[in-house]
Structure 1
Amino acid sequence: MKSAVETLSPTRAKLTVEVPFEELKPSLDAAYKKIAQQINVPGFRRGKVPPMVIDRQVGRGAVLDEAINDVLPKQYVAALEENSLSPLAQPEIEVTKFEDNEVLEFTAEVDIRPQIDLPSYEGLEASVDDVEVSDEDVEEQVKALRERFATLSDVERAAAEDDFVVLDLVATKDGEVVDGAEVSGMSYQVGRGGMIDGLDEALTGMAAGEEKTFTTQLVGGDLVGQEVEVQVKVTQVQEQELPEYDDEFAQLASEFDTIDELTADVRERLGRGKRLEQAAEARDAVLEALLEKVEVPLPEGIVTDELNARRQNIEQQLAFAGITMEKYLEDEGQTQEEFEADLDRRVRDAVAAQFLLDEIAKKEELGVDQQELSQHLVRRAQQSGQNPQEFANHMFEHNHIPDLVQEILRGKALATIVETAVVKDASGNVVELKNLQPDGTIMEVTEETGDEPAVAETTEDEAPAEEESSKED
């Protein structure tokens, strides 16, 4: 076999491969055997039909086609290896020359992994926002905690914001009840939103026993975007009574004895969460700083596929949430053109980052052991809400394990970059990233332990926060 490569672009190549006819002989023999098993010829047992008879009965052309189909993938892979090319997609193969007993020639155009001249990635500099826990943040968390222990009591007055109402609701279109738009005896907090546009405005000022009809547009279902008539009836108005925020509440809602201890714990937890958010921002900032130092050629086919996949994922999430794209863009203050431009930029940065991190992982000779793969499988299963064993079985059956391994390697490569980076917050303080734990605490290095840090203990109540942080990471 002889092969030559023509570089069509930094991310696309054209292989021209010549295969002498004698190298097709194993594939020809295999083709004759395969066809002999498939045909019945009087006087010959199945599988024992001689090649000459097959040529007369089936035709030499059919045998040659079978042989070519067998030899092309093998020769294509051999040509890739010979020219040190890493394909990113399926090739476009064309047989350009072939006659019986003559050389086989074919071409293969394929997107390839670009060659990247890695810049220095040690000591990258980046900046992030300060970690700030305001009194308003603490008050919001305290209010949410008090609401968990709140009670509801009926009131003889009109409903106001934050009140709870028990309601009956039905939406109709041209006098017909809209499928799935009829509820009875549902409890709803006025001002919460997220149900039907105009519902909160209609409920405000309604007392028990009153009815009201208003017009709105549906944001989901078969009639999305169409106007419907909504009739709502309030059967109860309930006022939410929050417990006093005192030492007694602290003992009821937590393991602390005083409200000061509980407040301090809330502030500490918020700080840990903010620290994790800052770390995620730091990783993004460091990666962005690295991307600015190098030009990464991108295969347009890969970019297009990723754009389509992300766009479809966004549309599915919006549909699941009952929100139209128009409503989403309106809430985000974006035009369709701005949304598409932002999505294109993010996709291109993501694809470039993948190529870059792959090269760094290769240069650093990073590897993945079985335990790391198992842990990654469990995390991915948890994120998708699937059973870990079923998720693992699916990954193995569909040959997605190499993709998961690549994800782990990219994470390790990014960690390598971040650990050597100098990241400062807006106040000029160096952000601690190397010793940051999944729960937002910082490991402390003591003189006695040297490089071995002492890990801050976490309580059982902190475990859910750790899991949530891992998912966000």
Structure 2
Amino acid sequence: MALSMEKISENKVKLRIEVDAQTFENGLEIAYRKTRNNYRAPGFRKGRVPRKVIESHYGDSVFFEDAFKELMPDAYQAAVKELEIEPVEQPSISIENIGRHEALVFTAEVHVMPEVTLGQYKGIEVEKVVYNVTDAEVQAEVDKALEKAARYVEADRAVQEGDRVVLDYKGTFDGVEFEGGSAENTTLDIGSKMFIAGFEEQIVGMKKDEQKDIEVTFPEDYPSKEHAGRNAVFHVTVHEVKEKELPAFDDEFVKDVSEEFDTVEEYLADIRKRLAEQGEREAKAKMEDAAVRKVVENATADIPDCMVEDQLDAMLQDMRMNLMRSGIRLEDFFEYTKSSEEDYRKRYRDEAKTRVKTRLVFQALREKEGIAAAEEDVEEKIAKMAESRKLDAKEYREMMKPGDLEYLRDTIAIDKTIDLIMDSAVYVDPGPEPESEAEEGTETAAE
């Protein structure tokens, strides 16, 4: 097999592949044997028509296409291996010469993995991120716990924001009931925004056993086209009015909600500790993101459009799967948001290109620095994952799907690459906040 390669552009090459005449003849014979059941001729049983008879009847080129399909993939892969190139897409194939007793010649144009020129990746300046737990954040966690432990008690008064009501409602369009517009003894938290705009607001002020007609308009982008933009009347009957009662935040509350702590002081200290740990993780992630972003910006690489399109395909597929978990089709999502796949591709094209470049830069760093996941790293990671699921490491490994191990190795190598960048990073103080921001923060705190 004769080969030549021409560079068309920065990351695109044109291969010229020549398959000798004898190999092509063998391909013709294979094509004949695979397709001979498709041909009939007088005096011959099905599948027994000689090749020469078929060729004389249909022409010498009758098996050319099938022979080419038989030979091309292996010839192309052999060329890729011999030339040591790494294609990033399916090739565009053109036949230059094909004929009986002649060499088969075809060309393959294909984008190849782009070369990455690394810039500075050691000693990167990173603005230091420091997280300080505020009293307001601690109080917010306390409030969440109190809300979770809240109970609702009957209130002998009109409905207020934050109340829980039990009611019946019957919806109509122009006096005619519509499907899904009625319910009995349903519970509604006022202020939850679970109903369309204007419904809950008009419940406020009603009393137990009171009836009322509520007029609302369905939004134009409502999922059901039969409802969208239409005016509706809901006849509402309130059966119960309950107000939220929060428990007292004291030692007894702490003992009720926690098995570890007995006092408010211990409980608050634990909240502050957990918030600090979470803040440190977030600060670390922010600094890593900033450093990686600089390393990627410092590198140069000419990214082929096909790699960006493939990345967008992957992002769309992830989006499709995430929506499916919520019972939403991607097509329906685009319809609801009055957008399209084309809009998505335009909006996230730069993000996709950055992801591709980041992946290529990390690969180049790993090759230059000899970074790889050692077997002990893999075993340690598996042991931790198994422990978190209360499984034996061997049992967990047996449960892993094909490809999981390679993904795990890749993840470990990425973490090591980030560690390499961060270990040499130069941390700089962000400096004092601008006076206007500081004043604004003071005012907010005072309020």
TM range (shorter): 0.7 to 0.9
Q: Which amino acid aligns with 1:353?
A: T
Give how far 1:193 is off.
2.7
Aligned partners of 2:105, 2:207: CA distance in 1, in Å?
Answer: 84
Aligned partners of 1:293, 1:375: CA distance in 2, in Å?
Answer: 37
Who is 2:99 aligned against?
99
Q: Secondary structure at the match of 1:302?
A: helix
Who is 2:266 aligned against?
261
Task: Kindly indicate whether residue 248 of structure 2 is the aligned counterpart of residue 244 of structure 1.
Answer: yes
Aligned partners of 2:87, 2:54: CA distance in 1, in Å?
Answer: 38
Task: Kindly indicate whether residue 291 of structure 2 is the aligned counterpart of residue 286 of structure 1.
Answer: yes
| 1:379-404: CA deviation from partner (whole Å, max 9, x where unpaired) | 9x9xxxxxx999965xx4xx898677
Who is 1:7 aligned against?
7
Who is 2:216 aligned against?
214
Give how far 1:141 is off.
0.9
User: 1:124-139, aligned counterparts within 5 Å?
Assistant: 124-139=124-139
Q: Per the alignment, do residues 176 and 110 of structure 1 end up closer, same or farther by CA in structure 2, a change over 3 Å counting?
A: farther
| 1:413-447: CA deviation from partner (whole Å, max 9, x where unpaired) | 3344334434456479xxxxxxxxxxxxxxxxxxx
Q: Secondary structure at the match of 2:15?
A: strand
Aligned partners of 2:284, 2:176: CA distance in 1, in Å?
Answer: 53
Give how far 1:44 is off.
7.2
Aligned partners of 2:52, 2:320: CA distance in 1, in Å?
Answer: 59
Who is 2:116 aligned against?
116
Stretches of structure 2 that go unaligned for 5 or more consecutive residues are: 390-395, 433-447
User: 1:65-80, aligned counterparts within 5 Å?
Assistant: 65-80=65-80
Who is 1:413 aligned against?
417
Who is 1:303 aligned against?
308
Aligned partners of 2:216, 2:383: CA distance in 1, in Å?
Answer: 52
Aligned partners of 1:368, 1:71: CA distance in 2, in Å?
Answer: 40
User: 1:78-97, aligned counterparts within 5 Å?
Assistant: 78-97=78-97
Larger radius of gyration: 2
Give how far 1:243 is off.
1.0
Structure 1 window deviating more from structure 2 (240-249 vs 53-62): it is: 53-62
Task: Count residues in correspondence.
Answer: 411
Q: Secondary structure at the match of 2:218?
A: strand
| 1:160-193: CA deviation from partner (whole Å, max 9, x where unpaired) | 2222222334555555555545443332322233
User: Which of 229, 238, 254 matches 2:232?
Assistant: 229
Aligned partners of 2:136, 2:241: CA distance in 1, in Å?
Answer: 29
Aligned partners of 2:384, 2:171: CA distance in 1, in Å?
Answer: 46
Question: Is the 1:160–1:190 Cα contact (8 Å) retained in structure 2?
Answer: yes
Q: Which amino acid aligns with 1:222?
A: S
Q: Secondary structure at the match of 2:16?
A: strand
Q: Which amino acid aligns with 2:232?
A: E
Q: Per the alignment, do residues 141 and 78 of structure 1 end up closer, same or farther by CA in structure 2, a change over 3 Å counting?
A: same
Stretches of structure 1 that go unaligned for 5 or more consecutive residues are: 330-336, 382-387, 429-473
Q: Secondary structure at the match of 2:127?
A: strand
User: 1:355-370, aligned counterparts within 5 Å?
Assistant: 355-363=360-368, 364-367=370-373
Aligned partners of 2:426, 2:175: CA distance in 1, in Å?
Answer: 65
Aligned partners of 1:368, 1:45: CA distance in 2, in Å?
Answer: 63
| 1:123-176: CA deviation from partner (whole Å, max 9, x where unpaired) | 322225321221111111111112222211010222222222223345555555
Give how far 1:290 is off.
0.5
Q: Which amino acid aligns with 2:193?
A: G
Give how far 1:18 is off.
2.3
Q: Secondary structure at the match of 2:300?
A: coil
Who is 1:31 aligned against?
31
TM-score (norm 1): 0.72
Aligned partners of 1:107, 1:376: CA distance in 2, in Å?
Answer: 51
Q: Per the alignment, do residues 91 and 60 of structure 1 end up closer, same or farther by CA in structure 2, a change over 3 Å counting?
A: same
Q: Secondary structure at the match of 1:217?
A: coil
Q: Per the alignment, do residues 251 and 239 of structure 1 end up closer, same or farther by CA in structure 2, a change over 3 Å counting?
A: same
